[in-house]
A = this chain, B = another copy of it.
């Protein structure tokens, strides 16, 4: 309503803004989500950030859901793929850690990404890297397929839980007090020291090793 809400560059810099593009919109969206979280991510705020009317964005994306789709692809394609020259075990470790690192770098968006089916071209390309590695490790078709799923379950759950452990996730509005926890649930309270973020890497590696060992990938040759 007041003059301060008006944008000024219309006079100060008439034709200065570079034109909108998929890339500019997507990068701004990632910054906005990183700053304000998913609830704060609106097309209108995105427009403000880009220095245009919110509705201009619809000229480049059909809907907000299409923007989110593009962000999923963009982040999945950022996961670093280990060289095919490495042995299978090293490749699996590399893929797993690439996934976790991407999650950690995008804690506010990752939950959306992880609930998305990765059935775009980019998504399937990533999944295919995991599958290829399992096959290259010598697993036969059915076993590779099932272990692929098992590994994905583990990766997805670990990344989500670690993020919520970094306190970005929604907490109960009436959490149990530390005092009550120690009194009523001593075994949980007692384990607290192993639940701290500094322990995440070690715990994650333990689970990954158990799965790979169970899959027969960590043979005596190791």
Out of B169, B170, B187, name the residue touching A131 (CB < 8 Å).
B187
Chain A: interface size category: 35 or more
Min C-beta distance of A145 to chain B, whole Å: 4
Give A contacts to B, CB under 8 Å: 65-66, 69, 72, 111, 114-121, 123-125, 127-128, 131-132, 135, 141-142, 144-150, 152-158, 160-161, 164, 169-176, 180-181, 184-185, 187-188, 190-191, 193-195, 199, 202-203, 206-207, 209-211, 213-215
Does the CB pair B145–A195 fall under 8 Å? Answer: yes
Nearest-CB residue, chain B, relative to A202: B146
Min C-beta distance of A169 to chain B, whole Å: 6
Q: Assuming the A-B contacts A161-B152, A191-B148, are A174 and B142 also in contact, with contact meaning beta carbons closer than 8 angstroms in the complex?
A: no
Residues of B contacting A190 with CB < 8 Å? 141, 145
